[in-house]
Structure 1
Amino acid sequence: MKISFYGAARHVTGSCFMLSADGMNILIDCGLAQGTDERVQGDELPFKAETVDVMLLTHAHIDHSGRIPLLVKEGFSGAIYATEATRNLCEIMLADSAHIQQMETEWQNRKQRRAGKPAVEPLYTTADAEKSMELFRECRYGEVMELSAHVSVRFIDAGHLLGSASMEITVKENGEERIFVFSGDIGNFDQPLIQDPQYPKKADYVIVESTYGDRLHGGSGSGKPGSQKATTIARAQDLADIIAETFAQGGNVVIPAFAVGRTQEILYFLRYMLDHKLNGLQDVPVFVDSPLSVKATRIFATSMEFFDDEALELAKKGHNPILFPSLVTITDANDSKALNFRNEPAVIISSSGMCEAGRIKHHLKHNLWRPESCIVFSGYQAEGTLGRSILDGAQHVTIFGEQIDVKARVRKLEGVSGHADQNGLLRWLSAFADAPRHVFVVHGDSDVAPWFAGFLKAELGLRAYAPKFLESFDVLADKLPETPPSEFTSPQLRILAEAFTALSAGQKDVESIIQRLAKAADAPGLLTNRKKTLRLANAIQRLTSDLEYLKIKWDKDASA
């Protein structure tokens, strides 16, 4: 029984794992890597596609499904098991991904021809995407699927996205039986529209995500069982505050959002905001500008069997949870361009969520330089992406070869996440009746995944390890590794240490400024410098006050 880690190993994107048992090779997810992950992991398959017997897909997001057409193109012909909603979403998402691959290759080949270089081929085409859909086999939550005489799988609602699932795979080999649980992406409690994550009860080996293993979600009423109403109200109010402030200045609210899942969640909050006239807002023009988002919204709006109780209650009253009168969906490219020449403020929701492709780049180009506009991020931004650069405070970014000043306000909508935070992951892992033999921590940044593995050892007493890209383990024959103490260092502590080093390095500069001001305190030319120094002094004072507060709080917690 061997497990191989072909993606999302000390990375967040590109999920791809293979379980080899009873003479079968079972592939769990086959996603595209994004941002820095793509440069490290690449797009090519690190195994021969024809050697895969069957594939299990946890959910439709491209970082889990995006290489399926490549898998089929290179020779895979087995069944792909997924829920009905995942299959329906993949039909539009893989076609869209293929279209992007072809368009980007066409653009690249124009440059290749001008440089006298040979043409390149797309990773896959729309024909490959269509062919891959023929291999999908639908399955239901709780249903046991027999993959062979000695291998079965059961899908469990992961609460992350419409149709998302965790996988419970039971294997019998040479008289030994083992249960492997692949978490997929574990959802946040009380997300709009979809059910909360369900907990597997038994496992020998667990492969668990760790996207937010090192932190708790901010925002009131988020991520806790039974807090859905509070979550909805808090997020709707956050949006109302941002929209009211931005519209008062005559700017646009631009929301980069994943076409599938996050866009529909934002629409749910906006519908609540308008229904309850928060901040007096009525008839706010909201544009969903993404052909894929529009198609996905239609699937969500008609998939009530996957809705949670709150969304079902609205549907029973005749209200669609994600549609409202002032919502306009845009598919035509000319209509999309016209948005940037409107005279009235608007809310523009567009993809891709990490700002790497799609129409969102045009909207950023036309709004980032405007101080009256606001860019609102609502999802994870991978390292190396345009979205991450903007969120991290870049003063300039390059879009379509043009340098754009970042003058717009940049906000992060706190508490909105399709991923469980640290507490949610601990609840999920604590639900097993007996402790698993071993836990493999995946789907986390290079500093987060190993830290979370060490944290599981300290907090829950679990044997845990964050595998590296391309590592494989025979769970019956190999001595399975655990996270070494050298890697069990809090990412936040590392950041704080780096900040302290920077402060120490800057101490001499501060002392020099003080001495120069003391010597020429009344020089008229130093007025501007004195103002800047005063701001610096105030910043240092705030920092020392915050550190003192943190110390008092820690001392108080330690003595409690």
Structure 2
Amino acid sequence: MKISFHGADRGVTGSCHLVECAGKRILIDCGLYQGSRELDEENAEPFGFDAASINYVLLTHAHLDHCGRLPLLAKRGFSGEIITTSASRELVRLVLLDAAHLLEEDVRHSSGRLGHDGAAHDTKAPLYSTLDALNCLDYLGRTAVYSQVLEVAAGVHATFIDAGHILGSASIFLELEEQSHSTSVLFSGDLGNTGRLLLRSPTTPPQAENVVMETTYGDRLHKPLGPSVDEFFEAITETFKRGGNVIIPTFALERAQELLYFLSQGIAQGRLTKSTQVYLDSPMAISATEIFRRHPECFDPATAKLFQDGHDPLDLPGLHFTRETADSVAINNIHGGAIIMAGSGMCTGGRVRHHLQHNLGREDSSIVFVGYAAVGTLARRIIDGAKQVTIFGENIPVKARIYTINGFSAHADEAELLTWQKQTCAKRTFLVHGEDDTMKQFAAHLSDTRVEMPEPNQAFDL
């Protein structure tokens, strides 16, 4: 029995971990690296294992940095079974088809682009195509149910427990047996915050001999939610007073729905006017919102009751869903008084870049960041104080007011991560999905466990 690490090792994206037991090879997640051009190139590199040799993929959740290389895995020979929760099954279809479309679109945009020598350069094929994504989805097999033990194969049992991160997200508890040996490995996936308003809090983890855990915010505490919501409404109100627009780079899964919930509350409480115009300019976020309504098993009980009573907390009077490209382009004619939520959250792709192109250079507008921005992303450069950025080849001065509101994070903070880890009573803890300095700071708090910080492709005996 052994475990090896092939993504999100000393970094925050590209989660991919391989467990070998009883003649089976089980992959936990197969995510996309997101951020700089170097990471884009890293996505095309070999996995560090033979894709055709993988028997099962257990998927913690449908964020791209956890599922985004599944089509590439299938393209390179995987023909096993992908197992995940019901909500994640729906969301992963949405996410992967959207990712394939964006990859193809990027190639189309770059084709014929002139190089520094003035000549047109050939472009590479996309990492994978829409057809590759569709083919990969054929391997979705059994559906995991929270807290129910599932026999993946002889000697391998998995229990998916609610991670409270996004709809359908799970931590995965593996119980492994091979010959006369047995052990357990608990994969945190991405852990959510306690006390959220839409989704349930993370389930208390079982005890495990080995734990593989994320450390995204392992070196800091989040701002409390209440003051974050206040700051959110203040940013909107102040921007509208200046006559500008509010641009919110939005993660399509969870963050978009949570913000709709708060905006709906704000109107109900009189903090925003009923005439407030909100544009959800993301086909994926629109579809994700529709999927949310189908999965009450993931909701906080109070939120589930709102839906049951016919009060949709994700709806508001001035809400516009803009699926079509023409409708998205038309938003650029609105010069003030609009809240525009568009993907992607890290500004690495999607429609938000067009809205930044039209609003980032305006002193009356605001850009409100409400989520994590990885090193190398456009969002991170703006947050870190860049005076000028390049979007679609155009140099744009950063004149808009920039807000970074961390209290909306869908990730657990340092205190919550430490509490979760302590509950596992793990003999050995593998730290992943975090920046190097963050992991080291988090590791300094762990005294009752052997700590490992794996390098890419490093393997350990279980």
Pair in the same fold by TM > 0.5 = yes
> Residue 274 of structure 2 aligns to which amino acid in structure 1?
Q
Following the alignment from structure 1 to structure 2, what is the Cα–Cα distance between the partners of residues 115 and 23? 53
Q: Contact (CA 8 Å) 2:112, 2:122: kept in 1 or not?
A: no
Counterparts in 2 of 1:316 and 1:403: CA distance versus 1, 3 Å: same
Following the alignment from structure 2 to structure 1, what is the Cα–Cα distance between the partners of residues 48 and 125? 19
Out of 335, 345, 348, the residue aligned to residue 353 of structure 1 is 345
Following the alignment from structure 1 to structure 2, what is the Cα–Cα distance between the partners of residues 207 and 294? 33
For the pair 1:121 / 2:129, whether they are aligned, the reply is: no
Following the alignment from structure 1 to structure 2, what is the Cα–Cα distance between the partners of residues 248 and 64? 40
Structure 2, gaps ≥5 residues long: none
Deviation, structure 1 residue 40: 8.2
| Corresponding residue of 2:332 | 340
Following the alignment from structure 1 to structure 2, what is the Cα–Cα distance between the partners of residues 168 and 112? 51
Q: TM-score, normalized by length of structure 1? A: 0.79
Deviation, structure 1 residue 74: 0.9
Deviations 1:274-317 (A, max 9, x none): 11111x53321000001111111111123222211121122233
For the pair 1:77 / 2:82, whether they are aligned, the reply is: no
SS of the equivalent of 1:110 reads coil
Following the alignment from structure 2 to structure 1, what is the Cα–Cα distance between the partners of residues 123 and 267? 51
SS of the equivalent of 2:454 reads coil
For the pair 1:213 / 2:215, whether they are aligned, the reply is: no
> Residue 133 of structure 1 aligns to which amino acid in structure 2?
L
Following the alignment from structure 1 to structure 2, what is the Cα–Cα distance between the partners of residues 413 and 199? 27
Following the alignment from structure 1 to structure 2, what is the Cα–Cα distance between the partners of residues 120 and 40? 11
| Corresponding residue of 2:103 | 101
Deviation, structure 1 residue 237: 2.7
> Residue 166 of structure 2 aligns to which amino acid in structure 1?
L
Deviations 1:22-73 (A, max 9, x none): 1111000000001147168443322211011110000000000000011111
Structure 1, gaps ≥5 residues long: 223-230, 476-560
| Corresponding residue of 1:494 | none
Matches within 5 A, 1:307-386: 307-386=299-378
Counterparts in 2 of 1:325 and 1:282: CA distance versus 1, 3 Å: closer
Deviations 1:216-253 (A, max 9, x none): 0013xx4xxxxxxxx4xx44432221111110110001
| Corresponding residue of 2:8 | 8
Out of 426, 432, 435, the residue aligned to residue 436 of structure 1 is 426
Matches within 5 A, 1:271-286: 271-278=264-271, 281-286=273-278
Following the alignment from structure 1 to structure 2, what is the Cα–Cα distance between the partners of residues 329 and 238? 25
* Structure with the largest fraction of strand: 2
> Residue 123 of structure 1 aligns to which amino acid in structure 2?
L
| Corresponding residue of 1:33 | 33
Following the alignment from structure 2 to structure 1, what is the Cα–Cα distance between the partners of residues 228 and 443? 31
Counterparts in 2 of 1:23 and 1:112: CA distance versus 1, 3 Å: farther
Deviation, structure 1 residue 88: 0.2
Moved more, 341-350 or 6-15: 341-350
Matched residues, number: 457
For the pair 1:474 / 2:461, whether they are aligned, the reply is: yes
Out of 176, 179, 184, the residue aligned to residue 184 of structure 2 is 179
SS of the equivalent of 2:385 reads coil
Deviations 1:139-158 (A, max 9, x none): 11112111222111110100
Deviation, structure 1 residue 262: 0.8
Following the alignment from structure 1 to structure 2, what is the Cα–Cα distance between the partners of residues 5 and 454? 22
| Corresponding residue of 1:246 | 239
Root-mean-square deviation (CA, aligned residues, Å) is 1.7
SS of the equivalent of 1:299 reads helix
For the pair 1:196 / 2:201, whether they are aligned, the reply is: yes
SS of the equivalent of 2:256 reads helix
> Residue 412 of structure 1 aligns to which amino acid in structure 2?
T
Q: Contact (CA 8 Å) 1:236, 1:272: kept in 2 or not?
A: no
Out of 137, 161, 164, the residue aligned to residue 133 of structure 1 is 137
> Residue 132 of structure 1 aligns to which amino acid in structure 2?
C
| Corresponding residue of 1:551 | none
Out of 403, 425, 432, the residue aligned to residue 411 of structure 1 is 403
Following the alignment from structure 1 to structure 2, what is the Cα–Cα distance between the partners of residues 376 and 322? 20
Deviations 1:379-423 (A, max 9, x none): 000000000000111100000011000000000123111100011
Higher alpha-carbon Rg: 1
> Residue 350 of structure 1 aligns to which amino acid in structure 2?
A
Structure 1 vs Structure 2: percent identity of aligned residues?
Answer: 43
> Residue 243 of structure 1 aligns to which amino acid in structure 2?
I
Following the alignment from structure 1 to structure 2, what is the Cα–Cα distance between the partners of residues 191 and 49? 38
SS of the equivalent of 2:389 reads strand
For the pair 1:60 / 2:62, whether they are aligned, the reply is: yes
Which one scores higher on RCO, CA 8 angstroms, separation ≥ 6?
2
Following the alignment from structure 2 to structure 1, what is the Cα–Cα distance between the partners of residues 114 and 380? 29
Deviations 1:188-235 (A, max 9, x none): 11222111101222201000100011000013xx4xxxxxxxx4xx44
Following the alignment from structure 1 to structure 2, what is the Cα–Cα distance between the partners of residues 293 and 272? 19
Q: Contact (CA 8 Å) 1:33, 1:43: kept in 2 or not?
A: no
Q: TM-score, normalized by length of structure 2? A: 0.96
Deviation, structure 1 residue 361: 0.2
Deviation, structure 1 residue 118: 4.6
| Corresponding residue of 1:529 | none
Counterparts in 2 of 1:267 and 1:396: CA distance versus 1, 3 Å: same
Q: Contact (CA 8 Å) 1:7, 1:41: kept in 2 or not?
A: no
> Residue 343 of structure 2 aligns to which amino acid in structure 1?
S
| Corresponding residue of 1:454 | 444
Following the alignment from structure 2 to structure 1, what is the Cα–Cα distance between the partners of residues 418 and 436? 20
Moved more, 146-155 or 118-127: 118-127
| Corresponding residue of 1:493 | none
Following the alignment from structure 1 to structure 2, what is the Cα–Cα distance between the partners of residues 240 and 132? 42
Counterparts in 2 of 1:451 and 1:29: CA distance versus 1, 3 Å: same
> Residue 134 of structure 1 aligns to which amino acid in structure 2?
D
SS of the equivalent of 2:444 reads helix
